[in-house]
Each structure stands twice: as structure tokens, then as C-alpha cells.
């Protein structure tokens, strides 16, 4: 009964929740979310600077998350670059002095808190302008005179440079302390602040002025001479400052920016204060980093600092791509009106093997409307990509790793994977359903790894490195098997594989203005496909049917594999030659990232043996299979009982040993050096395939994701993660769990649709006729060269 209920439950779900319905729901969700965010920005304001300065929350201890945007953690060299021509002044009492020191420590981490408590302090470096702390505990005439002097002195001699200033104020503590928290003192504070606010606005005309709201105190541990400083008093003074500054607004906005976020951070940490008044250093660092982001993000434009950044104007290629998709949509509409509807979607083949189920009837060739319909759909999807990660429409937040954010979702997906288990159509080792399942669960683990920021935890990082190596192992296994069994080295086959691997990435390179190497996995598998093809295609072409006639040919294959191994080792130990080879234009355009091929070198070297590992395994397996050494019947163990048990025991021990080693690694560098030489991929294959019952079942849930694993890996960069993978896309603010569910649902639907679009266009772009294919390749080569030249000419000059 339980099995029957289980089967009926799955059938009921699959009947009503189809992928077509899911895509319609996701489209409606995107439209509703666009309207929600547009209305929210219209009525509540969409200035990410205001979000940064006004509110946020702690993700974990000492990790501050501004509302709706990402805060970059500035390093010394970045801070010096940003502030090199700025003069900075912090004006106020002892608490603003601490903020000043925290700010200075971003510039110079070695700087110590020294100097007399109630005096001005100056920080100066020969290469950089002056940073001052000015002791003004009260808003009075002396302060007003200082402001007037700043507004009348010669250009660039006040606390500003030719590029602007940074003046930060913080005042009420001493007014409360000296006057016992009296109401008269509060009224006088309002009068004095009103008297200087005009001068503050004038200073702000030439730079940036920030008024920091008072942080709370821990009243229980305040000393006796500070007992009059209460949170109620501080709140009254904050309200007074807000009222006065808001009353000075011109055109609906004051030039003096209010900083309330540091106060919100202090509300959660003031209990850690030693004296109840001065904040812990970690909280002061949050306030300093908020100010640094507000000042420097618009200058340095860090990828993971979306707060206070203005939008970049689309470049020429982005504008042309928009026109191209728009033109395709117009042509599609014209064909639709004319009634040209002949189109049949083909079954998408697997990228690794390009095998597909043959339809019962001959497939109708796609009509002229089909490619334009596909391009129209692709244009809509690319519009969503652009809105998510290049336009200022949706919000972004930074990642923060905890064990629960990684392992709890992991448990959920594996429960679902077990729930959706079915019988395999065949029981061969690494059969089609099983390899799809393998790719599927690995991709889901990698997605969770990326969105949870789990790379910060070295044991998880190392295990995920094995998953990436396993993908490359499958590349070697799948392509070697195809060439060995079918011997199809034709141009059509090569172009089909290259198109399916690269279509989405090449479109994203143009639409999202990213280099090809940014999507590192695609260059990696493309490179290795070319290497495998070259290895198998060069003379002598040795196939299974050739080797069957004479066992000597097996040694020929081994010689080829040995030659490939020598080639890999030569490049691995010759970094200089490697860099010279891949730095030649136009090859360098494929492998450079930020003007360097270091990233390509790192990725290539890290998993350099994974592909040949897969090729060797495929060769040995196919030879053993041909000689009927293996038992691959349903329910049969792969080997005899003794051998099977021994290999299973060895595989389990290998897994445990690897996990212990990965957990003992101290640094990623240390682990990465050993990673190419340590592999548990074979151990997994044996555990998964030796028992007959294990080969006879598979998870249809994981296999479904495995069929679109490439699209999932690429799409996550911009419509699930954000800021080019540095952060997380926020479609639903204020509810992280719901946001992840909704963004994941849309992301998966988009990835599936792109896989279908790629298949549709492959039928048109890659014709089977050799002459037509050569003409297409010539046209695409010319177009690629033009794009390379345009992108090269359009690159900004240094310092622009």
C-alpha cells in the first residue's frame, strides 16, 4: 500500500505541475516582481546610498548587511586610491574620534590610537592628503566660525580637495553631560544646530558631509558622571538633528547625509561595551566601512559594492545585441501574422554524447519562423538577465556562510532525490540515466555551495573541487566513448558540440559585457573537447571495430593517451610557455580575465588530469565490456562476490580517507597543490555500480537537473547569484527564505528554456550539408572577428 501511495503521489504531482505550467507561473512572477520593485522605488525611494546609510542587519557576528545592496570590504590599497586626493575631517567628541581611528585603520591597518583625548588629531602621509579629527564636543559659535572659515578659504585648502571632501559630525553627548540632560540644553542644541546648518549645506556643495546619529548607550554600566546620558535623551537629540537637517532641504533633499545604519548596528552590540558609552571595535569598523562605501563605491566601482553605484551606460555591443533581439521579435511577429507555423521542437541531445532518442516519425524540418521564435524567447530571457545584474531594478545582498545554510538545503534535495527514484531502462555501468543523475546532484550541490558562500569552509571547498573534477571526468569519458564506438570525426559533430557548449556563454559575453573566461567552466570543457577530438582524430584513427581485428591496436590507443599525459605534464610544469601560448591575440581574448591569463592557468592546472582519467577509464571499461568480463545484467553484481566486496570496502575507505585529509587542510593553497593527484571519482563509480540493485535504479529528480546542468551552471552567475556571483539576487526583500524559493524557481525555469532554445537554434545554425556548414563557419568567423575588434576598440583607457 505504501509503494502504491508513493507512486500515485508522484504521478499526481507530475500530472498537474508540468514544466510548461511552471514557466508560465515564473513569467507571471517576474512581471509582478518588476511592478512591485518599480512601485517600491517610486514611493519609497530607490537610492542605494540611502539604503546603505539608513538601515541594515547583521548576517552574523561582525558581518553587516545594508538593506538591498552590497557593502564592499575595502582594503588599504583601495582606500588609499580612493582618498588620495581628498581631505577628510571627523568633527565631534570621543565617540567620533573612535570612528575616525577605525576609518584611518582601513587606510593604514598598523595605525594605533594615540594622541591626547580632548585635542585635534591629524593623520598625514607624504603620498596622501590630510585626514583630521577635530575636537568639537558641542555645537556652538566656535564650530560655526570654523565652518565659515571653510566656506571662505581658497580653493582646495579646506577639508576638501579638488574632487570633494568628507566631513563627519557627531555632537550631543557633551551637551547632555554638561547640562544634566535638561530640556533647556536640548532646545539650545536645536538653536545652535539651526545656526550652523546653513554653513554645513555650503560645505556640502563642494563635497560630502555626513551627520552620524547618536549610538545608544548601555545605561547599566555607565559611570556615575555619565548616568545622565540615557537612551531616551539620545533619541530626543537624534530627533532634533533629523528635524533641523530635514528643514534645510533644497529641492526636497538635504545635501547633508544622515547616517543611521551605524546606530542600528550599535543597538545589537552596545552590551559588549566596556564602559557603556564607547562601542566595540568591530561595531566602529562597521560604521567606518559604511562611510568608505558611501564615498568610494562610485569612484572605484567594486563588483561586490553595489551600494551608491550609478549605472554604467550600455556599450556599443550591448546596444547592438538589443537591436538584434528586437529585430528578431519583429520578424517573428511578421511570420506569425503570415501564418507560417511549421515548426517541431527536436529532442535535446546530451552535450557530452550527443545521443538522442529517435522520434517514432520523421521530424519535420524547422520552418523559417522557428529561429526567430527562438531568438525572440532568448531576447526576453536576456532582458531578464540584464535587469537582474546590470540594471538598478532588483536588490542584491552579500553571501554569508553558516553550516546550516549549506547542509540543511543539501538534506532537502537528497530527500527529494530519493523520493523521485525509478527503475533504469538498462543496468550497464554509467548508463544514460545514471550519468544524468550524477550530473544533476553534483550541479545542485555546487549551486548550494555557491549561494551559501561555502568556499569559506575548506572541507566543503575541497569536496566541491572533486565534483568539478568529476564533470571533467565525464567529459573525457563521454567523448572518448563516442569516438571509440562510433568513429564520427565529422565537422558537423564538432560544430554541434561546440555550439551547444558555447552558445549561451557567447551571448552573455555580449549582453552582460563579460569576458569569455569569466564563465570559466565552458572554456575549460571546450578546450578539453578539442584536445580529446585531436587525440582521437589524428593518425592513426583507432576505433573499437579496428581494435577488435587485432589487439595490437589497443597499444596504439595507450600510446596516444601516454602522449596526451606527457603534453599535460609539460604544460603543467612550464608556466612560462603556457602563458606565452595563451597570451597571443586573438587566442588571448578567450582566456584572459582582467588582462591576465592567471585565472585560466589556475583552473586548467587544478583539474588537469581529470579528463585523461575519464578517457583511460572509458577505454578500460569498454575493452572489458567487449571481452564480457563484467556482469551487467539487472540485479547482478559487476564482479564476483569476493572481488565486489573487496572493491566496495576499498572505495569506502578511500572516501573516508579523503574526507579526513580534506578536513585537515589548513589552507586552500596547500589543498589545491595536492588536489590533482588525489581522486575519489573511481571510488564513487564503484560504489554506485558494483551492486546490481544500485545500477538498476536512478533518481529521476536528479536526472532532470542533470539534463540542464550546463545551463544551470552558467545562468546562476546573473539570475540567482548577483554582482557577477559575488552576491545574492534579492527579488523579495525582507524574507530570505521566500526569496531563495522564488528566485530558484524562476532560475530553473529559465535554464530549462535556454536548453530548448539552444537545441532549436542548433538545428538551424549547424546544417548537415558540408558546404553550407563551411559557409556558415566563414560568416560566423568574420562576425566574431568584427566583435573582437569592436570590443578591443571600445575598451576604456586606463584611468577613464
Catalytic residue list: 94, 275, 278
Residues 6+ apart with CB under 8 A from 651: 682, 683, 684, 686, 687
From CA 745, how far away is CA 759, in angstroms rounded? 22
Q: Say if residues 436 and 351 touch (Cβ distance below 8 Å).
A: no
What's the rounded Cα separation, in Å, for the pair 706 and 441? 7
Helices 610-626, 552-572: crossing angle, 10 deg rounding = 170
- Cα distance between residue 70 and residue 56, in whole Å: 11
What is the distance in angstroms between the CA of the first residue and the CA of the last residue of the chain? 71
Rg from Cα positions in the chain: 32
Angle at which helix 700-707 crosses helix 709-719, to 10 degrees, equals 70
**b/e map 777-794, b = 16+ CB within 10 Å:** eeeeeeeeeebeeebeee
Helices 552-572/575-582 angle, 10° precision? 90
Q: Where are the alpha helices (DSSP H) in 627-708?
A: 641-664, 668-674, 681-689, 692-695, 700-707
Sign of torsion over alpha carbons 171, 177, 178, 183: positive
Alpha-carbon distances, residue 667 vs 599, 673, 679 (angstroms): 18, 10, 19
DSSP string, 692-743: HHHHTEEEHHHHHHHHTHHHHHHHHHHHTEETTTTEEEESSTT-HHHHHHHH
Q: Say if residues 690 and 639 touch (Cβ distance below 8 Å).
A: yes
Rounded Cα gap, residues 588 and 196, in angstroms: 58
Of 252, 150, 263, 265, whose CA–CA distance to 209 is shortest?
Answer: 150
* Alpha-carbon gap, residue 753 to 711, rounded angstroms: 9
What is the rounded CA–CA span in Å between residue 775 and residue 696?
A: 46
Which residues touch 516 (CB under 8 Å, ≥6 apart)?
A: 505, 506, 509, 522, 523, 589, 590, 591
Look at residues 351, 536, 509 and name the one whose alpha carbon lies nearest to residue 443.
351
Say how far apart CA 790 and CA 580 lie, in whole Å.
24
Q: How far apart are CA 118 and CA 136, in angstroms?
A: 9
Amino acid at each position: 500500500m505504501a509503494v502504491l501511495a508513493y507512486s500515485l503521489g508522484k504521478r499526481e504531482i507530475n500530472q498537474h505541475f508540468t514544466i510548461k505550467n511552471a514557466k508560465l507561473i515564473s513569467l507571471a512572477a517576474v512581471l509582478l516582481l518588476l511592478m512591485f520593485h518599480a512601485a517600491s522605488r517610486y514611493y519609497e525611494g530607490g537610492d542605494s546610498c540611502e539604503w546603505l546609510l539608513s538601515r541594515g542587519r547583521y548576517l552574523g557576528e561582525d558581518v553587516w548587511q545594508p538593506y538591498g545592496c552590497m557593502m564592499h570590504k575595502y582594503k588599504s590599497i583601495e582606500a588609499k586610491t580612493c582618498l588620495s586626493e581628498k581631505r577628510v575631517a571627523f568633527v565631534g567628541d570621543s565617540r567620533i574620534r573612535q570612528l575616525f581611528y577605525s576609518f584611518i585603520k582601513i587606510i593604514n591597518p598598523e595605525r594605533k590610537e594615540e594622541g591626547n583625548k580632548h585635542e585635534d588629531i591629524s593623520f598625514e602621509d607624504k603620498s596622501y592628503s590630510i585626514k583630521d579629527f577635530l575636537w568639537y564636543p558641542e555645537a556652538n559659535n566656535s564650530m560655526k566660525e570654523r565652518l565659515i572659515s571653510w566656506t571662505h578659504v581658497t580653493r582646495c585648502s579646506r577639508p576638501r580637495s579638488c574632487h570633494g571632501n568628507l566631513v563627519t559630525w557627531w555632537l550631543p553627548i557633551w551637551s547632555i553631560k554638561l547640562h544634566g540632560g535638561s530640556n533647556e540644553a536640548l532646545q539650545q542644541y536645536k538653536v545652535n544646530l539651526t545656526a550652523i546648518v546653513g554653513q554645513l549645506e555650503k560645505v556640502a556643495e563642494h563635497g560630502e558631509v555626513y551627520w552620524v546619529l547618536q549610538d545608544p548607550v548601555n545605561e547599566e554600566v555607565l559611570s556615575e558622571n555619565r548616568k545622565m546620558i540615557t537612551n531616551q535623551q539620545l533619541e530626543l537629540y537624534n530627533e532634533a538633528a533629523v528635524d533641523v537637517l530635514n528643514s534645510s532641504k533644497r529641492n526636497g533633499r538635504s545635501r547633508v547625509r544622515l547616517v543611521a545604519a551605524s546606530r542600528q548596528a550599535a543597538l545589537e552590540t552596545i552590551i559588549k561595551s566596556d564602559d557603556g558609552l564607547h562601542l566595540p571595535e568591530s561595531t566602529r569598523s562597521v560604521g567606518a566601512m559604511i562611510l568608505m562605501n558611501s564615498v568610494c563605491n562610485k569612484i572605484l566601482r567594486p563588483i561586490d559594492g553595489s551600494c551608491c553605484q550609478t549605472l554604467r551606460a550600455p556599450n556599443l555591443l550591448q546596444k547592438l545585441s538589443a537591436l538584434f533581439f528586437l529585430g528578431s521579435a519583429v520578424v517573428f511577429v511578421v511570420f506569425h501574422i503570415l501564418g507560417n507555423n511549421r515548426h517541431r521542437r527536436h529532442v535535446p541531445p546530451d552535450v557530452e554524447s550527443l545521443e538522442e532518442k529517435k522520434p517514432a516519425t520523421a521530424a519535420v524540418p524547422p520552418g523559417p519562423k522557428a529561429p526567430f521564435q527562438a531568438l525572440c524567447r532568448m531576447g526576453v530571457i536576456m532582458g531578464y538577465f540584464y535587469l537582474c545584474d546590470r540594471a538598478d531594478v532588483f536588490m542584491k545582498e552579500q553571501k554569508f556562510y553558516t553550516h546550516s545554510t549549506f547542509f540543511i538545503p543539501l538534506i532537502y534535495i537528497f530527500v527529494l532525490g530519493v523520493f523521485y527514484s525509478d527503475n533504469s531502462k538498462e543496468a550497464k555501468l554509467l548508463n544514460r540515466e545514471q550519468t544524468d543523475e550524477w550530473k544533476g546532484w553534483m550541479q545542485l550541490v555546487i549551486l548550494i555551495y555557491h549561494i551559501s558562500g561555502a568556499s569559506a569552509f575548506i572541507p566543503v571547498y575541497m569536496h566541491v573541487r572533486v565534483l568539478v573534477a568529476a564533470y571533467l571526468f565525464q567529459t573525457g569519458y563521454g567523448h572518448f566513448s563516442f569516438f571509440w564506438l562510433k568513429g564520427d570525426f565529422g565537422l558537423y559533430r564538432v560544430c554541434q558540440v561546440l555550439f551547444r557548449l558555447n552558445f549561451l556563454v557567447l551571448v552573455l559575453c555580449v549582453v552582460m559585457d563579460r569576458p569569455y573566461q569569466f564563465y570559466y567552466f565552458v572554456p575549460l570543457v571546450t578546450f578539453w573537447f578539442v584536445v580529446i577530438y585531436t587525440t582521437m582524430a589524428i593518425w592513426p584513427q583507432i576505433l573499437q571495430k579496428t581494435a577488435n581485428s587485432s589487439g595490437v591496436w589497443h597499444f596504439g590507443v595507450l600510446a596516444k593517451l601516454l602522449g596526451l599525459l606527457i603534453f599535460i605534464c609539460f604544460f603543467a610544469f612550464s608556466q612560462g610557455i603556457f602563458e606565452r601560448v595563451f597570451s597571443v591575440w586573438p587566442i588571448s581574448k578567450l582566456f584572459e580575465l582582467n588582462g591576465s591569463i592567471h585565472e585560466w592557468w589556475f583552473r586548467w592546472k587544478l583539474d588537469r588530469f581529470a579528463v585523461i582519467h575519464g578517457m583511460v577509464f572509458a577505454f578500460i571499461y569498454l575493452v572489458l565490456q567487449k571481452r564480457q568480463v563484467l556482469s551487467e545484467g539487472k540485479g547482478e553484481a559487476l564482479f564476483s562476490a569476493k572481488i565486489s566486496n573487496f572493491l566496495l570496502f576499498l572505495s569506502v575507505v578511500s572516501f573516508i580517507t579523503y574526507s579526513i585529509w580534506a578536513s585537515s587542510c589548513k589552507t586552500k593553497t596547500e589543498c589545491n597543490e595536492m588536489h590533482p593527484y588525489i581522486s575519489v571519482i573511481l571510488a564513487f563509480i564503484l560504489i554506485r555500480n558494483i551492486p546490481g540493485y544500485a545500477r538498476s535504479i536512478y533518481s529521476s529528480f536528479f536526472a532532470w537537473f542533470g539534463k540542464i546542468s550546463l545551463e544551470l551552471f552558467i545562468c546562476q552567475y546573473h539570475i540567482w547569484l548577483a554582482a557577477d556571483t559575488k552576491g545574492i539576487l534579492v527579488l523579495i526583500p525582507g524574507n530570505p527564505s521566500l526569496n531563495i524559493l522564488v528566485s530558484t524557481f524562476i532560475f530553473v525555469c529559465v535554464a530549462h528554456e535556454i536548453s530548448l532554445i539552444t537545441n532549436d537554434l542548433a538545428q538551424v545554425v549547424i546544417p548537415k550539408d558540408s558546404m553550407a556548414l563551411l559557409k556558415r563557419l566563414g560568416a560566423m568567423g568574420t562576425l566574431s572577428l568584427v566583435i573582437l575588434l569592436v570590443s578591443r576598440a571600445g575598451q576604456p583607457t586606463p584611468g577613464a
